[in-house]
Amino acid sequence: MLVIHTIAELHVHLRGVTGIVLVPTMGNLHQGHLDLVRIARQYGQFVVVSIFVNPLQFGMNEDYSKYPRTLEQDCKMLEQCGADVVFAPSERDLYPQPQQVTVELPPIANELCGAFRPGHFRGAATVVLKLFNIVQPRIAVFGKKDYQQLYLMRQMTAQLNLPVEIIGSETVRASDGLALSSRNQYLNVAERTEAVFLYQNLVGIRLAIMDGATDFFKLERQAMEVLSARGWRVDYVAIRSQSNLAEPTACECNLVILAAAWLGKTRLIDNLEVLRDR
Ligand code: PAF
């Protein structure tokens, strides 16, 4: 496995390589990322994993400077799971000048997480588009854990006619159900025990919908109240259509429940797809 730090060096090594599968990450890898690499392997012969903590997608008061950077450990894990190239560019290489050209996303980018993290998805989409142009993958793999991001990457790719197929990979969970995330390590012991309740809440909503509940507003409000009562600071709990992340129509069957909430200083997100009977 090669670890490459510059775009120029990457171009030398990728010359003539076809059918590249890209797994874009910000590093500090866990089993969820390794699962993306495993899926990537199923889709192609040559897997490139990018590791770049992208300043463009962090807000002013977010955790950019303290975001864990663990390149050496990440590379060991990637070597074991069979990545071919790790591309870990410096900020100067990726943003040699202030990035004034950015990707304009559909309005849904300003809802859900976008309402609480203004500009986040613009920053994520812009770096992903740059990575697509640099790496020229045929396929890129993203986790469903970041459901809104996955949706927006699909929209960007389709609407800009990018020659990249986007694959969504299932969320990997700890044995108690907590979705794996680099941010879980910020949780103290008590918070880690409580954290699973976000997922359990989504499971409860899914059961209610499958039992025939149709008052989504009430389900969302109840879930937010329950979380708040347990000490969470809730950004949102929302039941949306899988197809466009809009509020679902009465006959919509493919739904997704999305939530973001803070435990202490840590913001956790999760989601659960629901297929409801007509
Ligand atoms: O999901 C992430 O880790 C990031 O948003 C991504 C896609 C690597 C872009 O920086």
The parts of the chain modelled with pLDDT lower than 50 are: none
Q: Is 155 annotated as a binding residue?
A: no
Q: Where exactly does CATH 3.30.1300.10 map onto the chain?
A: 182-271
What CA–CA distance (Å, rounded) separates 166 from 22?
10
Q: Is 31 annotated as a binding residue?
A: yes
Sorted by sequence, the CB contacts under 8 Å of residue 133 that are 6+ apart come out as none
Catalytic residues: 33
Ligand 1 binding site (Cβ under 6 Å of any ligand atom): 24-26, 54, 57, 124, 127-128, 146, 149
What CA–CA distance (Å, rounded) separates 112 from 133?
28
Asked if 239 and 217 touch (Cβ cutoff 8 Å), the reply is no
The pair of structure tokens assigned to 27 is 């590093």
| Ligand 1 binding pocket mutation candidate from 63, 145, 146, 181 (most atoms within 8 A of CB) | 146
Sorted by sequence, the CB contacts under 8 Å of residue 114 that are 6+ apart come out as 108, 120, 121, 148
Q: Is 144 annotated as a binding residue?
A: yes
What spacing in Å lies between the alpha carbon of 172 and ligand 1's midpoint?
Answer: 16
Q: Where exactly does CATH 3.40.50.620 map onto the chain?
A: 2-169
pLDDT at 251: 86
What CA–CA distance (Å, rounded) separates 177 from 90?
35
- The predicted-structure confidence for 205-256, as pLDDT tens digits, reads as follows 999 999 999 999 999 999 999 999 999 999 999 999 999 999 999 889 999 9
> In angstroms, what CA-CA distances link 76 with 32, 41, 50, 143?
15, 17, 14, 21
Residue with tokens 């008061």: 61
The pair of structure tokens assigned to 98 is 């202030």
Sorted by sequence, the CB contacts under 8 Å of residue 225 that are 6+ apart come out as none
* Pairing relationship of beta strands 254-263 and 233-241 according to DSSP bridges: antiparallel
Q: Which fold has domain 2-169?
A: Rossmann fold (3.40.50)
What CA–CA distance (Å, rounded) separates 69 from 142?
20
Superfamily in which the 182-271 domain is placed by CATH? Pantoate-beta-alanine ligase, C-terminal domain (3.30.1300.10)
